[in-house]
Amino acid sequence: MKEISGIPLDKIDDYRWSIPRSYKPGMRVPGLIYADEKLLKDIYQDKAMEQVANVAFLPGIVNNSLAMPDIHWGYGFPIGGVAATDIEEEGVISPGGVGFDINCGVRLLKTDLEYDDVKDKIKDLIYRLFSDIPSGVGSEGCIKVSPEEEREILLKGARWAVEKGFGTDDDLEYTEENGAMPGADPQAVSERAMQRGKTQSGTLGSGNHFLEVQIIDQLYDQEACKVLGLNLGQVMVEIHSGSRGLGYQVCEDYSRSMAASLAKYNISVPDRQLACAPLTSVEAKAYLSAMKCAANYAWCNRQCLMHLTRQVFEKIFGSSWQELGMFLIYDVAHNIAKIEKHKVGGKEKNLCVHRKGATRAFGPNHPVLPEKYKKIGQPVIIPGDMGRNSYLLAGTEKAMQETFGSACHGAGRLKSRTAAARSIKPDILLKELESKGIIVKASGRNTLVEEAPSVYKDVNDVVDVMHNAGISKRVCRMRPIGTVKG
């Protein structure tokens, strides 16, 4: 056993570490952290491991309070945290286990273009993407909706966009949940949240949200790449965005109101940011209905963003997006809670799986996967920083057994935004990136430095842990050549 910042850790193997239940009276399950020795040194710099232990107090939690290798401090749950609660055993749902940017997620498009096709046009392409796609705090989109249409979006998700001509049915097939969770109820969403969302469809957002043009520079799994139609040198597009102000407001509303549930249901947790309610309660059902609305809004948003991206490529390359081969590989959610069936102690259970900064990573032959992907497992998209790499992985059966079919969601922050602003010069950063062949456009200088490569862990290290632990396997790696930041 080793101890880090007063927290005992049992080493299970080179990629797994356990926080024993004995660390804190009241922990119902151990904590389980996926990391190697190198990443552990980064993880203990904030209070994320303490949060892993705190999550283990939730009523109904099963197996372990999980932490992915990109773990860092968050609201209630750590970012990179996963926890499942058993509905039949007084299991709860916690807004802090989903987060403020509900269904922040990533979609990955392939193209038939190669690097030689874009190298002389990359600056024009990035500048046009920046000008045609609204980004940044409070940005408003060119896709305008009425109050009635906004309610439709909350119910239909990405299908609303497809029905408006902003995509195809194939896009829905390759989107998690087919782009909409059933059970959404706009009546559970506050007027303030509706107001914040009505002008933000088809907008990129701020902070770590981005749109990036990438080149595949490494293939790992030839069989999976063949299924997906991927080759070395191929141009890819990655879109990272979420539910914008609407999702933020839903979390804020319910985090505040659900705090009263702790006393009402006699629930004891060490952090009020873990405010929660039994899944059978009125409070939990209302939050779940509102969260689904925000999740559906996010899927619609990314569908609209993809439509606008395809339009820009059409303008720059003078061909239709279909002729350019701009087809969706997959769209995955990061911040979400879902009712799923998983085996616990050899028995199939209905669980509420919280994924806070974590990606669903279902293994081969899972019934919810598109037929095309059942042989290889669910595509798992892992964005890095704008100066290194991103990855496409595939879910595994081991993930189903150990992590409720969950994997990491990115590189994970090392430095706070404040620390980044103090130590990084935007002009120097832009020159460094351009020297690597990476063109960047950002809506503000603050965003640029807050998202500099040096403020993140190396995504290569994070993915190595997931691959070597058997939770998700590497399919291919991409390097950025142009990035639009919110």
Catalytic site positions: 409
Token couple for 147: 């109050």
Angle between helices 244-264 and 282-317 (to 10 degrees): 160
CA–CA distance, 32 with 81 (Å, rounded to integer): 10
- The total of other beta-carbon atoms located within 10 Å of residue 185's CB is 15
Question: Under DSSP, is residue 450 helix (H, G, I), strand (E, B) or coil?
Answer: helix
Question: Under DSSP, is residue 80 helix (H, G, I), strand (E, B) or coil?
Answer: strand
First and final CA of the chain: distance in angstroms? 43
Q: What angle do CA 291, 26, 63 make, to 5 degrees?
A: 60
Rg (CA), the chain: 21
Q: Sign of the C-alpha dihedral, residues 40, 450, 95, 344?
A: negative
Q: Determine contact, residues 181/292, Cβ cutoff 8 Å.
A: yes
Cα distances (angstroms) measured from residue 59 to each of 54, 92, 93, 270? 12, 6, 9, 12
Residue 9 phi, psi dihedral angles, 5° rounding: -130, 125
Token couple for 162: 């497809």
The residue type found at 374 is: K
What DSSP assignment string belongs to 378-399? -EEEE---TTS-EEEEEE-HHH
**Listed residue (99, 305, 285) closest to 210, CA to CA:** 305
CA–CA distance, 74 with 57 (Å, rounded to integer): 17
What DSSP designation does 334 have?
A: S
What DSSP designation does 50 have?
A: H
Q: Residue 406: beta bridge partners?
A: 360
- DSSP-derived pairing of the beta strands 65-72 and 31-34: parallel
